[in-house]
Structure 1
Amino acid sequence: MTWPRVDGLRSIEFGSPGAVRTELVGLVLAGAKTATAGLLEHDYAAEGEEVEHVGERLAVLDDSGARVATVRVTEVRVVPFAAVDDAFARDEGEGYEGHEDWARSHERFWAAHAGVAVRADTPVVCLRFVLETGA
């Protein structure tokens, strides 16, 4: 299963469908959310997708699957779960003070929505991006 393509771009969907996705897309559109994380094995390998690359443009999809914006990837790092730093956690724009808040939230999310129990060495894809205007 591959990610949807929209207007020739790979798509990116934030969080789980419903209120969470609506909130996260709102943070992206407001410029508050400039980073996101995914599990290398679950979100990429199992989906048959390659990790994004710097400069890649992604179609941001809302809860209905419609393209609402475009982001351009500015940084890609694959790090162990325990190595996600405080700055990255804050750049996710969801009010995390640092790694500990981020880790607790993401452990719960990935357990509930992906059925994955993360460990300290679980590979996490950390993306930073900028919102493109007029796209």
Structure 2
Amino acid sequence: MTDLVLSGHKTATAGLLTLDYEAEGEEIEHVGERLALVGDSGERVGEIEITRVEVVPFAEVSWEFANAEGEGYASVAEWGESHVGFWRAYGVEVTGSTPVVCLWFRLL
């Protein structure tokens, strides 16, 4: 995924409110926050700045967001299928009302 960010194709990412924030005791990122972009070996390869944050029910994730994830999805439905499978692997069942944290960012 780091390569997609560095190439400019990926300008958004998603997390589950329950899995990625509440379970970890983490605050949701805020606009203007800067985060290190880390490579596969744990080295810092860049920095991103959060430009937009939305928490929406899974069923309301927009095509604008799904497309901004830069992973080549043909539709928001395909994005949804991929993400349900990803989160299921972590033992989380996603429904239409599951809160998704949608983060947009820019590479600095």
Q: TM-score with structure 1 length normalisation? A: 0.78
Aligned to 1:120: 96
For 1:130, what is the secondary structure of its paired residue?
strand
Sequence identity percentage: 59
Runs of 4+ that moved beyond 4 A: none
- Which ranges of structure 1 fall in alignment gaps of 5 or more residues? 1-23
Aligned to 1:73: 50
The whole-number CA distance in structure 1 between the counterparts of 2:75 and 2:48 is 24
Quick check: 1:62 aligned with 2:53?
Answer: no
What's the offset of the Cα at 1:98? 2.3
Aligned to 2:85: 108
Asked whether the equivalents of residues 87 and 98 of structure 1 are also in contact (C-alpha less than 8 Å), the reply is no
Q: TM-score with structure 2 length normalisation? A: 0.97
The CA deviation string for residues 16-61 of structure 1, in whole angstroms up to 9 with x for no partner, is xxxxxxxx10000000000000000100111111000000001111
Aligned letter for 2:20? Answer: D
RMSD of aligned residue pairs (Cα, Å): 0.7
